[in-house]
A and B are shown apart, each in its own frame.
Chain A
């Protein structure tokens, strides 16, 4: 990780203060904190005052002053750290009470302590500095979040399998709700609150604190959090931060999902992930559209449904023509002349720089031919089956060459179609890859293409034509079989199915030029043949096969 900058630095400072070895507190501070915390919990829960604790709060701040807590930044930090730890200890003690008559009473008991502490933090943040001094408030918030995160990581590493998510989840959630109340002071710092939370959640991502993963997903998918991040904050300023959190989640799940051995704990997290994606697809499809590249880059190739959810997203103002319409003319659609927004720097991902240079000069000059013969070597990173290729590089290469091709065709005053895409440096690369790669490489390569088959746009159209062209021009049946496989396996799963994917598959089986039904692999096994027939039936509603 890079050295943190800006307000972020306070989160890291907070974490460091907890995690520093031999962190000794001045004598008596633990006792003072304990006493203050008890007092506050009492005040918070006493009649009338609990509801609007402003008056009680100023008296309490006076008390903190008397105890000397507010004298230095260091003491305040220590106070927060000790309070967090005391609250957490209380929760562990309560949850260990086996004698309690009813388990449902244990949790409210934990909330009793945690909620009081959270209100104290919220009030301290709100009232720190002058009313208009946002900087002080934000620094304090970052510091507190860092401290809680630090306590969490410390606790996670020492208690290991006995770690409890509850106290931290409750603190983070309730503090978030408190800080998102409709008050002018809080609204002025809302964007900073959201950023601080995103940084904290990124630090606590499942790969760093696996024992916190379920609570982490609850936080990330919390109704209010999602709404604030994706709907309320202006100019979509929080979208990249939220996308980062989803990438953290996908990256964590990847090694478990790619082996398809779904133990119960993995299944649970996976189901939660699917639900989050469904909510996003329904409520924020533009978000999934914009970040589809980065998401597909980290989702393992076998997670077909997960990827379909992302690839099926399309802008809400768009009306997709029914792919099953007979004689649908995709070329005639307005939308296919517009490129989609890709919020990832594809060119930067093509490494090493020398390879990028060679690629660009090949695209320009269509020479030397050695570039093509060395292409496979540039993509391959090992000889171990299953991990032979640099998937990220493959994805970047395919999309980069595709977008360059579209620009090149346009520069000649033409638009991409089955004939204009052929006989170019770009198609040389694509054809070379489909012939030269082994089965594993070709599978990843064709998947990289299929990931661009989405709603009507220039990429979808270009890559749909490219895939069909590769099928038509293939010199072996193996290539055609694999193209069919990649398309089919994305269609036999439950809905949703991306529009471009359906369009491409329907064209393949409907257009006689591809002689689809004459291929041997279509008839290789009776169950496969039946499958094709049933897909064909559902694809071609009223026309005949």
Chain B
């Protein structure tokens, strides 16, 4: 750098400011300081374990990564089209472990597009395995595939009654 007008010794107040700034420099704000806590799933289960709250979240853990690895996500990876190309299990992971984020919203939207329906009582996603045996105003009944977040896998349920009052039907626009 150049100082075309020549250097001027710092005033006392500026020296003091520099010292305070320097000590702040050694504990910089983290990215997570200005973000909402990243909650995980399921609350009840992990809360009982309560490892100083840490396990509840997918916290940011910055660390040096080699330059030849990708440093930032792919372009347009925050679009619905991108989420529609993800595996169902990935979408479930995003849904359960990234609550309250745009990612969760996109995952839910992608799941809906693949005819998965969210059950607000069981807090699980269901998909018709076949045409329901009964359909009326209140419920439908038949064989469903659902995703069990506790066992972390897809299961089949025969003769299941999906009551419409538990159908999450908010319009995700």
Interface residue? A107 (CB, 8 A): yes
**A260 and B17 alpha carbons, distance in the complex (Å):** 17
Q: Which of A210, A386, A440 gathers the greatest number of chain B CB atoms within 10 Å?
A: A210
**A47 and B59 alpha carbons, distance in the complex (Å):** 20
Interface residue? A197 (CB, 8 A): no
| B interface residues (Cβ-Cβ under 8 A, vs A) | 1-8, 10-11, 14, 16-25, 27-30, 32-34, 36-37, 43-44, 47, 51-54, 56-57, 59, 61
> Does the CB pair A165–B29 fall under 8 Å?
yes
Choose one: B11, B20, B22, B61; the contact of A255 (CB below 8 Å): B11
Choose one: B1, B16, B59; the contact of A107 (CB below 8 Å): B59
Q: Which of A203-245 contact B (CB under 8 A)?
A: 206-207, 209-215, 218-219, 222
Residues of A within 8 A of B52 (CB): 100, 105, 108-109
> Does the CB pair A211–B20 fall under 8 Å?
yes
> Does the CB pair B5–A443 fall under 8 Å?
yes
Choose one: B4, B25, B36; the contact of A265 (CB below 8 Å): B25
Residues of A within 8 A of B21 (CB): 206, 210-211, 213, 265-266, 269
18 CB contacts below 8 A, A to B, read A156-B20, A160-B20, A161-B20, A161-B23, A166-B27, A169-B33, A170-B34, A214-B25, A218-B33, A219-B34, A252-B17, A260-B2, A260-B3, A263-B18, A265-B21, A268-B28, A302-B3, A386-B7
Q: Mark A143-178, 1 if CB is under 8 A from B, else 0.
A: 000000000000010001111111001100110010
Residues of A within 8 A of B17 (CB): 206-207, 210, 252
> Does the CB pair A109–B22 fall under 8 Å?
no
Residues of A within 8 A of B28 (CB): 214, 268
Q: How far is the CB of B94 from chain A (nearest CB, A)?
A: 19
Interface residue? A262 (CB, 8 A): yes
> Does the CB pair B33–A166 fall under 8 Å?
yes
Q: How far is the CB of A287 from chain B (nearest CB, A)?
A: 22
Interface residue? A344 (CB, 8 A): no
> Does the CB pair B27–A164 fall under 8 Å?
yes
> Does the CB pair B23–A263 fall under 8 Å?
no
Residues of A within 8 A of B61 (CB): 104
Residues of B within 8 A of A177 (CB): 36
Interface residue? A26 (CB, 8 A): no
Known: A104-B54, A169-B33, A218-B34. A264 touches B8 (CB 8 A): no
> Does the CB pair A47–B44 fall under 8 Å?
yes
Q: How far is the CB of B2 from chain A (nearest CB, A)?
A: 6
Residues of B within 8 A of A127 (CB): none
Residues of B within 8 A of A115 (CB): 36-37
Give me 18 other A-B pairs in contact (C-beta within 8 A), A173-B34, A214-B28, A265-B22 excluded: A104-B59, A104-B61, A105-B54, A109-B53, A161-B20, A165-B29, A169-B34, A170-B34, A174-B36, A210-B24, A218-B29, A218-B33, A252-B17, A259-B10, A260-B1, A260-B2, A302-B2, A386-B8
Chain A residue nearest in CB terms to B15: A255
> Does the CB pair A212–B34 fall under 8 Å?
no
Interface residue? A520 (CB, 8 A): no
Chain B residue nearest in CB terms to A209: B20
Known: A102-B54, A115-B37, A256-B14. A211 touches B24 (CB 8 A): yes
Known: A105-B53, A258-B5, A443-B5. A265 touches B33 (CB 8 A): no
